[in-house]
A and B are shown apart, each in its own frame.
Chain A
Amino acid sequence: MMASALRGSLVTLAKGLSGARLQPFCARSLSLTSSQNVSESPPARADSTFKVTMVPGDGVGPELMTAVKEVFKAADVPVEFEEFHLSEVQNMASEEKLEEVLSSMKNNRVAIKGKIHTPMEYKGELASYEMRLRRKLDLFANVVHVNSLPGYSTRHNNLDLVIIREQTEGEYSSLEHESVSGVVECLKIITREKSRRIAKFAFDYATKKGRSKVTAVHKANIMKLGDGLFLQSCAEVAELYPKIKYENIIIDNCCMQLVQNPYQFDVLVMPNLYGNIIDNLAAGLVGGAGVVPGESYSAEYAVFETGARHPFAQAVGRNIANPTAMLLTAANMLRHLNLEYHSNMVSEAVKKVIKQGKVRTQDLGGYSTTGDFVRAVVANLRHRTV
């Protein structure tokens, strides 16, 4: 027995001998205790105020941002906003503006934004400003938290889902052409690297938040190579996480299961277009676009926005938009900035107002205006700080 173990080890050694090569070092192998070229902005900041980029966007975006600013002022949150008005439909968009926004975001690393609406007509540019922003910052992961609000009952109560969507490739690659008149080819791109990256993000997120299951959503029976690659990457990454259950489900079945029995899902991960659809579907399950917060991550930056992104242009100026989603998003942003106390303060105030049920905006069945809701949240804040 000893001899066979020895032989086994010698075989392993022999394999090591034949297999090992002197690989070139990746930059991470060698450590330098002090590096002279410090490129990132220094951690020192005056008065401990955090700077955050704010892009209000179109539609009710500016109103929602005002709500956030009011609540932050009342709660004494040490956050300073750098505002940029970037909008494609209002002709306030240009390359320089985009560059300004990007450099501000790269400086501050955290941003909060509304939806920058994309016009339907093809004006010569296939990629919208929002897509270009996402690509330039490489915001590859979009996370939407679908949580039922306590006190507001829907057909499905006590939901707790997380939807993770790959945000930079897939059907949104903006690659279309018309080789023959009347025949348009639209390319959906799936790459192994990006699929691995989003799968790893999903599993890391599940590990961090103590979730037990990750479900990959796909249509690999039809798009055998494309979604097949996505599925294969997810399965590969799943092997590194033995404690998290990995399943997959086809998108049509997933949609049906979500409306019949959404409790079977925990964390969902999927490519771009399916993510868009499922985000909105799940938002509808818990109360609509006014209620669901979300965020987008790249390796370096985090951008916070609502889960279901609609400009809601019909509500501009009528003071009826529901600021819940944006306020919960802002609370998540505070948690990311390590301001746990303020984050909890804001999110608890919002949840309290919803639970009390006296002040509700139109989409939740009430008659209050946005202003009323914000005032109610501020009043509930004061209760906590005293």
Chain B
Amino acid sequence: MAKSDDCVHILQGLLVFGNVVIGMCGIALTAECIYFVSNPHGLYPLLKATENSDINAAAWIGIFVGLALFALSILGIIGVIKASRTLLLVYIILMLITFAFEMASCITAAAHRDSLTPEHFQKQMLERYQKSEPANNSEVTKAWDELMLQNHCCGVKGPSDWQEYQSAFRLTHSDADYPWPRTCCVLDAQGLPVSLDGCKLGVPGYYNSNGCYDAISGPVNTHAWGVAWFGFAILCWIFCVLLGTMFYWSGIEY
């Protein structure tokens, strides 16, 4: 009898520990997703323009899942200590629902990340940058301008993007005056090109020759993998804790 008591106490202790970890991970997930949703790198307009901002939706789901995990972990700890069948049943069912939501968020973030290729951004930039008709293109234009100014880059793969393809930009800016946008030129303190002729000709040192894709894909990768893999790890842990809880629940007498 004493040995069985010990086993029960060990199981209770393990379940309480598991729930404490779940609670802390839930808080961490919420904090991480709030950080991503707050758009620290100014990339949200570019992702929204892709007509499915799934990574952002996954981050929003992550916020609520994290809070739910924290609340459920407290419920689980109370249920395990009081050995209450009702509380634990409620805990198990709600945890399953949260599991399903977090699963959807992980898969969405991972799948959407795969679709963000350089060609994807090239197409969006060429079709929307400096296009005046639908009003939401001004956000895309501003986002690209800020991206190019802050990271000293031009286009997605390079300034030759503007030469190899026609674009909405080309419709309003002639090729002779603007082989590529002025934001691709090296600018002085007043925001004017250091040498306009040098920039138009492509003289090294007077224009930004590298593409912006690295500046985009770095933060987007961190964002997507942060949501997807961290969520995956939490779900694996929840799986183990839930199995233990169900075993514990089935052993409780009425």
Q: Do A and B come from one complex?
A: no
Residues of B within 8 A of A (CB): none
